[in-house]
Amino acid sequence: MSQPSPWLLQHLEQIHADAEVLDLASGCGRHCQPLLAKGCRVWAVDRDMHALQGIAPCQRLRRWVWDVETAGLPEALQVDVLLAFNYLHRGLFATLGRHLHRGGLLLHETFHIRNRQENGRPRREHFCWQQGEAERFFRQCGFRIVASEDGVASAGRWLTRIAAVRE
């Protein structure tokens, strides 16, 4: 899976060229490239150093080896755009709003429960959103949902997608 998600590409126009972006659990950085190409400054954070090393260097890219679940994100960290693709940790997500400037954009996509039921992945139910859960969750965390797809089929997987603005 090296191509960026269509969910990011669909929202790319809404992201300013001078935006600062945090790609949470970025892996090999498939979402960093379109943002860097646009001119954004990107923080790619992942606990897997080898995955981060796979991202082509760029002056506007910072690779950050960090376990976001045990260490959390630094209190003072604030960006314009937050990406969280193929990653779900409800405890951490509950505080993501603190790390976005007011009006900042969160783009999120991960498995819907139907993927586990039909394709057997992920193994842990906890890594999937239930139907309707993600929208409710982010609203309760102070986000305004600007777009969402819940239980949508994409490339043989069932996904939940959220685009939300920090109020």
Ligand X SMILES: C[S@@+](CC[C@H](N)C(=O)[O-])C[C@H]1O[C@@H](n2cnc3c(N)ncnc32)[C@H](O)[C@@H]1O
Residues present in the chain in total: 167
The Cα–Cα gap between 53 and 121 comes to: 27
The nearer residue to ligand X, 18 or 69, going by C-beta atoms, is: 69
The Cα–Cα gap between 148 and 140 comes to: 15
CB of 41 to ligand X, least distance (A): 18
CB of 20 to ligand X, least distance (A): 18
For residue 14, the 8-state DSSP code is G
What are the structure tokens assigned to 10, written together? Answer: 């669909």
At residue 63's C-alpha, the angle toward residues 77 and 83, to 5°, is 60
The nearer residue to ligand X, 46 or 150, going by C-beta atoms, is: 46
Contact residues: ligand X, CB under 6 A: 1, 25-27, 30, 46-48, 51, 67-69, 85-87
CB of 86 to ligand X, least distance (A): 4
The nearer residue to ligand X, 69 or 167, going by C-beta atoms, is: 69
CB of 107 to ligand X, least distance (A): 11
The nearer residue to ligand X, 85 or 93, going by C-beta atoms, is: 85
Residue nearest to ligand X (CB): 27
